[in-house]
Amino acid sequence: MSAEVIHQVEEALDEDEKDALLFLCRDVAANAVPLNVRDLLDILRERGKLSSVNLAELLYRVRRFDLLKSILNMDTPTVEALLRRHPHLISDYRVLMMEIGEDLDKSEVSSLMFLMRDYTGRSKIAKDKSFLDLAVELEKLNLVAPDQLNLLEECLTNINRIDLKTKIQKYRQSAQGVETNYVNARQASLPNLSVKDPSYNLRVSLGQMCGILA
């Protein structure tokens, strides 16, 4: 991806969209501290993670469909088809957190920050910060992670956002489904040995012998 394209993207995004991109890419830009979107995209380019498909995914996630068309000459259905065929750059967890932030108004974010005070401390997060800022702080404190969302669910319940709690539960079920499919596929790829199979008995005998020698 050229420097010219990176410049075009940075110039076209507003501050909220830039913050969203920085949050979405926290994992893929690990071990680096990009100060802005230009730095972020440059880091991804250096790491070979800024193909046209990758950039299309980023613009799709922040809903800049106009930039998909003007910069990459792609429409929304094309990008959605690409995302179904290619591995995602951004994790489902980060997409989930961004979507939750989009569905919360300022008063609800303020309420969440208040409820989190027992965990984050009074001075950790300024009142004018966003939900994504809160999420980053919770991640740093190991209070929120892709497989650790109970605290967030509890706080969302306390502010009567059961719909967002349900969204988290659906994410968790989907993640478990992916893991189950992987395990099943892994098992299917292994030899189907039974206790009557000579090769199975040989492996058991060798394993027992190794245990005795150890």
Residue 190 has pLDDT above 60, yes or no: no
| Average pLDDT for 129-156 | 93
Structure confidence at residue 124 (pLDDT): 57
User: In the predicted model, what is the mean pLDDT of the chain?
Assistant: 83
Which amino acid, one-letter code, is at 160? N
| Average pLDDT for 167-172 | 95
Which amino acid, one-letter code, is at 185? A
Structure confidence at residue 186 (pLDDT): 40
CA distance 113 to 121: 10
> CB of 54 within 8 A of CB of 89?
yes
Least confident among 80-84, 120-124, 142-146: 120-124
Q: Show the beta-strand stretches assigned E in 92-143.
A: none
Least confident among 40-49, 80-89, 169-178: 169-178
CA distance 124 to 198: 63
Least confident among 30-44, 89-103, 173-187: 173-187
Structure confidence at residue 189 (pLDDT): 40
Same topology for domains 3-90 and 93-177, yes or no? yes
pLDDT digits (tens, 9 = 90+) for 53-77: 999 999 999 999 999 999 999 999 9
Bridge partners of 148?
145
> CB of 83 within 8 A of CB of 44?
no
Structure confidence at residue 119 (pLDDT): 83
Q: Is the pTM of this model over 0.85?
A: no
Extract the tokens encoding 82. Answer: 């690409």
Residue 110: pLDDT band with limits 50, 70, 90 = very high
Q: What are phi and psi of 148, to 5 degrees?
A: -140, 85
Give CATH for domain 93-177: 1.10.533.10
Residue 43: pLDDT band with limits 50, 70, 90 = very high
Structure confidence at residue 184 (pLDDT): 42
CA distance 203 to 198: 9
HSE, side-chain direction, 13 A CA sphere, residue 138 = 24
- For the chain, what are the domain ranges? 3-90, 93-177
Cα-based distances in Å from 72 to 7, 57, 110:
14, 11, 38
Q: Does domain 3-90 have CATH number 1.20.1060.10?
A: no
Share of the chain above pLDDT 70, in %: 79
